[in-house]
Each structure stands twice: as structure tokens, then as C-alpha cells.
Amino acid sequence: MPDRRWGPYGAAVARWERLTRPAPAPTDAKGRLEPAFVEWMQGLPPGWVTATEGLGRPAQLTALGNGVVPQQATRALQLLAPPVSQRTGCAGR
């Protein structure tokens, strides 16, 4: 039976959990977005941002919001960057 807390996003969350790890709670006791959940959604290792010493919740969310999702960056480089062998001035030629 699907987890009801995810509503219409349950299938997507379940797929991402199969590829990564179980989803952390999306919100805290006050109903605020949890940085660990954002970290998980972006596919980052646990603690990548949230275990950074000196970063409180607002700074963690700012860092995550300004970050680049690794999977998107990889795909962008695949599509936009020419292969190394085709770059001008490449030492590998």
C-alpha cells in the first residue's frame, strides 16, 4: 500500500527511494521544510549540506536552493560540452 503522506507524489517518491535511500521526513514538527528532505530530493549524500558545521536551517536551505542537482549537471555537460577529442587546444590531441 502506498504511503499516504506523499499524496499524488507517492509513486515518484517510491521510485526515488528505490534509487537512493528512504526519504527523510519532509517537514519538522512546526511544519517547516526539512533541509535533509531537500538534500535527499537532490540526490546528495546524507549530510552533504546538513552536516556542515555552523550552518543553521536557513543557511542549509539557501545552500540547497542555490545548489546544482548533480544528475542535471551531468546531463547538461553531456549535451553541451563537446567531447574532449574535439576541443581546440586540447592536450590530448
Q: Per the structure, how many domains does the chain have?
A: 1
| 64 part of a folded domain | yes
Q: In this structure, are residues 57 and 35 in contact, taking their beta carbons and an 8 Å threshold?
A: yes
Q: Compute the mean pLDDT over every residue in the chain, rounded to the nearest whole number.
A: 90
| 11 part of a folded domain | yes
* Cell matching residue 91: 592536450
| 13 part of a folded domain | yes
53 φ, ψ (degrees, to nearest 5) = -60, 135
32 φ, ψ (degrees, to nearest 5) = -90, 150
Nearest Cα residue to 16 out of 33, 49, 39, 50: 39
Average pLDDT (26-53) is: 97
Average pLDDT (3-19) is: 92
pLDDT-derived band at 91 (thresholds 50, 70, 90) equals: low
Domain range for 57: 4-86
Let me know if 38 is exposed, middle or buried by CB neighbors in 10 A (0-12, 13-18, 19+).
buried
Specify the pTM: 0.79
Residue 1, pLDDT score: 54
| 91 part of a folded domain | no
Let me know if 64 is exposed, middle or buried by CB neighbors in 10 A (0-12, 13-18, 19+).
buried
Please state, in angstroms and rounded to a whole number, the distance separating the CA atoms of residues 24 and 46. 10
| 45 part of a folded domain | yes
Residue 11, pLDDT score: 94
Residue-wise pLDDT for 54-83, tens only, equals 999 999 999 999 999 999 999 999 999 877
